[in-house]
Structure 1
């Protein structure tokens, strides 16, 4: 437990000297911070800020499922799956830091070349994580090209590729542009079981599914949601501005409450923003993604567990229930089955996707069947 050193708050009595606090996965714990709204402040006067991550499916529902996870006000994005990327601009693609590949069927991996070409001259590290065999697939892609124009003076792009299974990382590799993308062995990330990426502000979890081949489902969990109350900022005489992005990052990361934040010519303590309720916290959103799986008890249990309580679940709903046998033979879900899984997971919102092209012109039927079961 860390403590806050004695300081004078702008609202006397809101914080005692040496008040203890504890950042945790879903909320800051501080007796003063957890008090009720300031007098005269109602929930209707709260200025709700955007979540840390904004998800969007970039393709229409009969095309490749690709979920673009955009970090607002940051130069960063993630991808769940690596299918057709043409709808993304080059500016969006170069922001991608991590790609999570469900499996290596073409409609989930064909976007690799565009991703590579967009980032080839960036001095950065691009992470790709997926099921066993992903490293071999990336190596095969890279070996298909000639890299004689790359050398020690090239931009130092590094592809860090991790193969993951239920027991953890199976093999990790890296490919450096300056070494003509020759494969090198790498150390696996040190993360908890079931986790692919552990960041200060969020984590990405995975579950193994059966699609005839291994296929991964993913969930992004924000550790803390941070909102801004405009009326409380006004009481402190603080403007809305870009400084709030840094302040919210500090809260999500669990930084010390006596951390100072520059606001114009002023220095404001992080604790002052929390105690005055200018910044409030709550559970972070959960975004889940599941595609390409046969309807089986194990798959249903794995998706329901991964997506439990998610704000949004993006789930394949490829076939009408009248074609249930065909869906099973293709190792896919029907819209009804997808709706049942979403309901079992208790998600707030479910988005059906990855419709079979055999139903072109019948999209409304797929959506209706999904909605009836969700």
Structure 2
């Protein structure tokens, strides 16, 4: 699992940062990519990476401000010409369906794959047993969601030596035990997988928040997260301005990470007012509150390793 930032700026494209989009790469886990927001020129950014649009399975939109959605119709259209034939599901606030259907219809765009659009409310918006995605409302003036992605716990390591000691030769039984299935042997005895598996491997948690003021739902979404992605449109000390414009400061983002017990914080949605040097100052500022903080940059990738049992 890796999180690749495709755009990390705020409001408008800039030379240093494109507008918001990030890709959660789940290639090892499910052979697919999930996008979170799709600002203008996201598909151009993808051209500079190894991402394949045909791998995009789901797209989660936090809110309907242009810097988070203007790249979506173009990306969906281009995917048809890039070998994409599998279904794409778009999740987002009420209005995303009208926006997409109108854009694609008026432009005469034809998709060669099924497009499913789900307008969400608070709660669990996706759960297939492997990953669960929850959404909660944030505080941004318009409807803006944050997402919490939780990976299911994995079975523990197969204790093959213990099975061999029990007289069970390698074969299909090992696979059944590894998957957590009880096995009845020919002699009628039952193998309980819990006796032949190591401790379960805890699943990873990623919290990706849309634009927001400091709020309690951000803390709930980030509870014990391995990675929290939080906007930092303003520097510490500019809380009054951040509140006026429905955004957050570096200090407020760090405060969410601290209260939530997140393991790592990554700041994004950086205003074009901050050049490369000033952006580093934002990072050091946040680290003064929460040491395990990183700064998102276009094409930066954060690897989320498996938990060790």
TM-score by length of 1: 0.62
- Deviation of 1:311 after TM superposition, in Å, equals 0.9
1:369 to 285, 289, 294: 285
**Counterpart check, 1:353 vs 2:268:** yes
Partners of 1:130 and 1:291 lie apart in 2 by 11
Q: Indicate if the aligned counterparts of 1:317 and 1:370 stay in contact, CA closer than 8 A.
A: no
SS at match of 2:7: coil
- Deviation of 1:346 after TM superposition, in Å, equals 0.9
Match of 1:314 in 2: 229
2:44 to 86, 91, 94: 86
Q: Indicate if the aligned counterparts of 1:94 and 1:118 stay in contact, CA closer than 8 A.
A: no
Partners of 1:91 and 1:366 lie apart in 2 by 29
Q: Indicate if the aligned counterparts of 2:2 and 2:26 stay in contact, CA closer than 8 A.
A: yes
Shift in CA distance, 85/233, structure 1 to aligned 2, threshold 3 Å: farther
2:131 to 202, 205, 216: 202
Give the aligned CA root-mean-square deviation in angstroms. Answer: 2.8
Shift in CA distance, 233/356, structure 1 to aligned 2, threshold 3 Å: farther
**Counterpart check, 1:59 vs 2:22:** no
1:7-22 equivalences under 5 Å are: none
Shift in CA distance, 90/354, structure 1 to aligned 2, threshold 3 Å: same
Match of 2:104 in 1: 142
Shift in CA distance, 57/227, structure 1 to aligned 2, threshold 3 Å: farther
Match of 2:295 in 1: none
Q: Indicate if the aligned counterparts of 1:127 and 1:161 stay in contact, CA closer than 8 A.
A: yes
Match of 1:334 in 2: 249
TM-score by length of 2: 0.74
**Counterpart check, 1:71 vs 2:26:** yes
1:237-316 equivalences under 5 Å are: 251=179, 256-258=181-183, 275-277=195-197, 280-295=199-214, 300-316=215-231
**Counterpart check, 1:100 vs 2:16:** no
Deviation track 1:6-30 (CA, whole Å, cap 9, x = no partner) reads: xxxxxxxxxxxxxxxxxxxxxxxxx
- Deviation of 1:284 after TM superposition, in Å, equals 1.0
**Counterpart check, 1:224 vs 2:149:** no
SS at match of 2:201: strand
Partners of 1:344 and 1:257 lie apart in 2 by 41
Match of 2:71 in 1: 111
Gaps of 5+ in 1: 1-52, 167-193, 238-246, 260-270
- Deviation of 1:220 after TM superposition, in Å, equals 0.5
Shift in CA distance, 335/76, structure 1 to aligned 2, threshold 3 Å: same
- Deviation of 1:275 after TM superposition, in Å, equals 4.4
**Counterpart check, 1:164 vs 2:164:** no
- Deviation of 1:111 after TM superposition, in Å, equals 2.3
Q: Indicate if the aligned counterparts of 1:217 and 1:291 stay in contact, CA closer than 8 A.
A: yes
Deviation track 1:129-184 (CA, whole Å, cap 9, x = no partner) reads: 1111111111221123125xx6xxx84x1211111223xxxxxxxxxxxxxxxxxx
- Deviation of 1:226 after TM superposition, in Å, equals 4.6
SS at match of 2:89: strand
Deviation track 1:280-323 (CA, whole Å, cap 9, x = no partner) reads: 5232111001131123xxxx211111111111101111111233
Partners of 1:75 and 1:256 lie apart in 2 by 25
Q: How many residues align?
A: 258
